[in-house]
Amino acid sequence: MPRDPRLYLDDILDAVSAINRYIDDYDYVSFVEDKKTQDAVVRNLEVIGEAVNHLPETVRSLANDIEWRKISDLRNILIHQYFGISVPVIWDIVMNKLKPLRSACESILEHLEDD
C-alpha cells in the first residue's frame, strides 16, 4: 500500500523547519564558514527532494507555482554530484524558495484534510 501523500508533505515541512532552525541568526558569511550547518541544510534539502519525488502528480498539481521538478533535480544533484554543490546556490534556495514551498505544502495539506 502506498504511503499517504500527507506524510510526504509532513516530511517536507519538517525538513523546512529544521533548515530554518539551523540557519536562524545566520547571514551568508556565517553560513559559508560553517560546514556543519551546510551539511545539515543539504541533508534536509535531500529529504525534501526525496519526499517531492514520491508526491503524486495529482498532489503536485494543487500548487502549480512550485517548481517541483527543480526540487527533484536538486535532490539528484545533491546525492550524485555532491562535489559540485554550490554554497551560494544553496543559500539562495534557503533564503528564497523554502518559504513558498512551506506555504504551498501547508495549503495542500489543508485541501487534502478537507477531502
Catalytic residues: 75, 80
Percent composition of the chain: helix, strand, coil (DSSP 3-state, to 5):
85, 0, 15
> 110 — phi, psi (to 5°)?
-60, -45
Chain centroid to CA 61: 17
